[in-house]
Amino acid sequence: MKSQNLDELSRIVDLNKIESAKNSINEANGLPNECYLNDEYFKIEKERVFFNNWIVVGVSSSVPEIGDAKPFDLMGTPLLILRDKNNKIRVFHNVCSHRGMILVNEECKLKNTIRCPYHSWSYNFNGELIATPHVGGMNIHEADGFIKSKSNLKEVSTHIWMDLIFININKNKKNFEESIYPLEQQWSKFISKEDQKLIRHAKDFGYFNMEVQSNWKLAIENYCESYHLPWVHPELNRVSNLKDHYHIEDLAETFSGQGSNKYSQQFDGNKKLSTFPNWPNDLYQNSEYVSLFPNVMLGIHVDHFYAFWLEPLSNNNTREHFEMYYVGDESASSDEYKEIRKKNFAFWQEVMNEDVGVIEGMQKGRNSPVYNGGNFSPVMDTPTLMFHKWVATNLTK
């Protein structure tokens, strides 16, 4: 299987160039241009990077009530996100077992069933096929030899963490708890597992999305390094300077990023947002920003958390979804904190907008035949190389 996989990849891209990303930082080159430009490569990446790992496809608070359903197109693969009768988020392949019709085309509220619009086969919220009208001829709803249970919907492994909906399409990944353990350890100095339950999606100023003309990987690469701060984010750099940042590199290589020692809470007059209850006083000015591989960028602060997750649309087009969270209902919803929410949202939206020019510029740069995948600063670029190495390993294993 491995050599077959490598054959397929080697038809598109020089494998030595992919292997080079696994070298030590002085020897390494980054992933080659084909990994950002080639349509065939994009399909391979979908299988090996997106289907083989836990990835983010949405947030559970966007389907808040039982029966809320939302289609999601994962790089051409139709999925359906649904809140079932037990309040559990489920993700199914959004395709009817009969003639392959798409089941749900747009966001909606379902009553009791997922009914196919073509011949009305219906599935309950567990994905079981429960009604097949006229399947045995006019007014005969059962048929000899037709076993309904063989036609249930195909469900995807799903786990909710910090409101994020993670899925593993190929069901081949170790369980989610194990996968997220390194990041929970990294953040155990700030929050406990219990504290995770306190986050609430902001009632207003809580979401935006934008489309960038860039490969999804460039957003991740840009996010995990602080090197660009002085030039791309001059405002941010004034309050949280490059020198106040440190690298974050997971030993298990599931995430990389940066932390700051200079976070200061947003305020409105003398009002401040609620804080995580177990966050130590001496770490109030610490905040951390990590790219959790492959497709979500996270930021944690004493008084808010955000997730910026990526929906790859093609090799050079990505939709970025930003989700803002606060600690407890008051901070997330009450009018008292509205001004702070507004200010905080505008701040992050501005920062994320400032990155668009460089993400898109790097994409354009990858059309140059002389670009060799990149050389790295041995000091400033270690988090970026960790991500390249992770992608290269996923492609070649």
Per CB under 6 A, residues contacting ligand FES are 96, 98-99, 101, 116, 118-121
What's the CA gap between 291 and 248, in Å, rounded?
10
Angle at the Cα of 17 from the Cα atoms of 11 and 387, rounded to 5 degrees: 110
Q: Which does 355 bind (CB under 5 to 8 A by kind): ligand FES, Fe ion, none?
A: Fe ion
CB 201 within 8 A of CB 286: no
Q: How far is the CB of 116 from ligand FES (least distance, A)?
A: 3
Enter the tokens of residue 142: 């059962």
Residue 114 or 352: the one with the smaller Cβ distance to ligand FES is 114
The answer to whether residues 263 and 286 touch, using CB atoms and an 8 Å cutoff, is yes
What's the min distance (Å) between Cβ of 104 and ligand FES? 12
CB of 51 to ligand FES, least distance (A): 24
97 versus 260: smaller Cβ distance to ligand FES? 97
187 within 8 A of 257, measured Cβ to Cβ: no
Q: Which amino acid is at 276?
A: F
Our CB check for Fe ion shows the closer of 323 and 355 to be 355
Query: Which partner in ligand FES, Fe ion, none is near 99 (CB below 5 to 8 A by kind)?
Result: ligand FES
CB of 158 to ligand FES, least distance (A): 23
Question: Binding partner of residue 338 among ligand FES, Fe ion, none, CB under 5 to 8 Å per kind?
Answer: none
Q: Is 299 exposed, middle or buried (0-12, 13-18, 19+ CB in 10 A)?
A: buried
- Name the token pair of 71: 């289609």
Q: How far is the CB of 107 from ligand FES (least distance, A)?
A: 20
DSSP β-bridge partners for residue 309: 296, 321
> What is the C-alpha to C-alpha distance for residues 166 and 179, in angstroms, rounded to an integer?
11
Partner that binds at residue 121, options Fe ion, ligand FES, none, CB closer than 5 to 8 Å by kind: ligand FES
If the CB atoms of residues 50 and 125 are measured against ligand FES, the closer one turns out to be 125
3-state secondary structure of 367: coil
Residue 118 binding: pick among Fe ion, ligand FES, none (C-beta 5-8 Å cut-off by kind): ligand FES
Specify the DSSP class assigned to residue 355: H
Q: Which residues 6+ apart lie within 8 Å of 364 measured at CB?
A: none
Nearer to Fe ion (CB atom), residue 161 or residue 227:
227
Residues that bind Fe ion (CB under 5 A): 355
Please, which residue, 177 or 350, has the CB nearer to Fe ion? 350
Alpha-carbon distance of 387 to 53, in angstroms, equals: 14
**Closest separation between CB of residue 147 and ligand FES, Å?**
16
Residue whose CB is less far from Fe ion, 165 or 386: 386
To the nearest whole angstrom, how small is the minimum distance from the Cβ of residue 67 to ligand FES?
A: 20
